[in-house]
Amino acid sequence: MLIGLVGKTNVGKTTFFSAATLVEAERDNRPFVTINPNEGVGYIRVKSVCAEFGVRCQPKCGWCNGRFRYVPIKLLDVAGLVKGAHKGRGLGNKFLDDLRRSSVNIIVVDAPGSTDDRGNPVPPSSHDPLEDVVIVKEEFSLWVASIIERAKSKIRSRIIGGSSIDAALYEILSGLDVRREVIKEVLEDLSLEMPPMEWTEERLLDFSREILKRSKPFVIAANKVDVPKAEDNINRLGRELDDPIIPVSAEAELILRRAARSGFIRYEPGDPDFEVVDESKLTRVQLKALDTVRESVLNKFGSTGVQDTLEAAVYKVLKMKVVFPVENETKLSDRDGNVLPDAIILPEDGTVEDLAEKIHSEIAKKALYGIDVRNKRRISLDHVLSHRDIVKIVAAR
């Protein structure tokens, strides 16, 4: 599962990335600091299942605090986009190719409007963040259009060779994780009966917009909510856009996670508050910074929003679920005795067979049925699993 971080330059993408992954990367208050993408591991929370059974998870990846299991997901922070990127402005839009594999993209915006259209710092309220969202989405559509444009001769030869339009487009777009049914639907809904070589620029763009809408959804991280004036803009974004919008302070999350890593505070991603471990270990400046985070972010918004954004992307937008495979249904462990070692992210319609496939293709080949560990009942391979199910897969020897 890969989540992309995109947006105008100098809005806090890398700060969000570092806050979620604790990977250090260059950040600064000026445009185009990030050039090469940063890849790291963040986490989504699942309400722990171990407490229900009186055991404690021993995750292979991520961790569990008894309340929540933190399940790894990959994050990719890319360079910033500005208007005209498809024409080569700023760093262009070729780097979006790195996002071919992402299932969903988070658009980070400067909610208080404290950076202009080129990413230069300006006083809050000087710029409209809605414009930035529109531009990023448009540059994304132009990127998809350019992928099709570049492949036109290939599409032509496939169609001459007898391929249908949707099959030819599927071949080009499958690397973007676009399903063939979606391509078919969009062609029909837009009444695109001619082959892509004969589409006007406008039609190609309409097609690309619609493909993105249905296959690569967005979540908006309205960042810098610690800056006054952010709230009015967030309310307006909510009225104008259909995408989920989460108030975020990436800077606050980074401060809290670093303080927790150094042992100064007790705080886990997504918590509504933190606790200072030993005041005498902190300077007055550090205590003041923590107080500001509490007052201007946590007390006002309930959390820093970083965790909520990742979870909105996975659960709300992609409608994914997390299930726990085990080999020993009594101990809830693998064969080495590790309790609930794996947590697997599956799509909404994910079945026992899909789970087996995710564990190992060999297991999937030999899988006979599953056992729902909560009620010890047999479940068939085509049984659609629920969020937080614990499943043993029984396979032929």
Ligand X SMILES: Nc1nc2c(ncn2[C@@H]2O[C@H](COP(=O)(O)OP(=O)(O)OP(=O)(O)O)[C@@H](O)[C@H]2O)c(=O)[nH]1
Residues binding ligand X (CB under 6 A): 9-15, 27-29, 31-34, 80, 223-224, 226-227, 249-251
Helix (H, G, I), strand (E, B) or coil at 386: coil
Contact predicate 392/325, CB 8 Å: yes
Q: How far is the CB of 240 from ligand X (least distance, A)?
A: 22
Return the number of the residue (21 or 249) whose C-beta is nearest ligand X.
Answer: 249
Residue 48 interacting entry, from Mg ion, ligand X, none, C-beta within 5 to 8 Å by type: none
- Considering the rule CB under 5 A, would residue 34 count as an interface residue with Mg ion? yes
Query: Which residue matches tokens 């059974």?
Result: 53
Task: Work out how close the CB of 74 gets to ligand X at its nearest, in angstroms, rounded to a whole number.
Answer: 17
Q: State the DSSP code for 97.
A: G
Residue 262 binds which of ligand X, Mg ion, none (CB < 5-8 A, kind-dependent): none
Shortest spacing between CB 14 and Mg ion, in angstroms: 3
Binding partner selected for residue 11 from ligand X, Mg ion, none, CB under the kind-specific 5 to 8 Å limit: ligand X
CB under 5 to 8 A by kind: which of ligand X, Mg ion, none does 223 bind?
A: ligand X
Residue 18 interacting with Mg ion (CB under 5 A): no
Q: Which is nearer to Mg ion, 23 or 394 (CB)?
A: 23
Task: CB nearer to ligand X: give 18 or 351.
Answer: 18
Using Cβ positions, the residue closest to ligand X within the complex turns out to be 80
80 versus 350: smaller Cβ distance to ligand X: 80
- DSSP for 10-70 reads TSSHHHHHHHHH-------SSS----S-EEEEEEEEEE-STGGGT-----SSSEE-SSEEE
C-beta closer to ligand X: residue 201 or 295? 295
Nearest one of 246, 237, 235, 225 to 298, comparing CA atoms: 225
Least distance CB 129 / Mg ion (angstroms): 17
Phi, psi of 189 (to 5 degrees): -60, -35
Our CB check for Mg ion shows the closer of 74 and 180 to be: 74
State which residue, 18 or 208, has the beta carbon closest to Mg ion. Answer: 18
Q: How far apart are CA 141 and CA 332, in angstroms?
A: 46
250 binds, among Mg ion, ligand X, none (CB under 5 to 8 A by kind): ligand X
Asked whether the beta carbons of 72 and 52 are under 8 A apart, the reply is no
Q: Is 14 in the site for Mg ion (CB under 5 A)?
A: yes
Shortest distance, position 39 Cβ to ligand X, whole Å: 14
DSSP state of 314: I
Note the residue count of the chain: 397
Contact 354, 361 (CB under 8 A): no
Number of residues forming the site for Mg ion (CB under 5 A): 3
Packed helices 165-173 and 129-150: angle between N→C axes, nearest 10 degrees: 110
Nearest-approach distance from CB 77 to Mg ion, in angstroms: 6
Residue 28 binding partner per list ligand X, Mg ion, none, with a CB distance cut-off of 5 to 8 Å that depends on partner kind: ligand X
In one-letter notation, the amino acid at residue 168 is A
CA separation for the pair 270, 207 (Å, rounded): 38
Shortest Cβ 34–Mg ion spacing (Å): 3
Told to check if 233 binds Mg ion by CB under 5 A, we report no
Question: Looking at beta carbons only, is 232 or 349 nearer to ligand X?
Answer: 232
Q: Are 12 and 70 in contact (CB under 8 A)?
A: no
Task: Yes or no: say if 225 and 245 are a contact pair by the CB < 8 Å rule.
Answer: no
Which residues make up the interface to Mg ion (CB under 5 A)? 13-14, 34
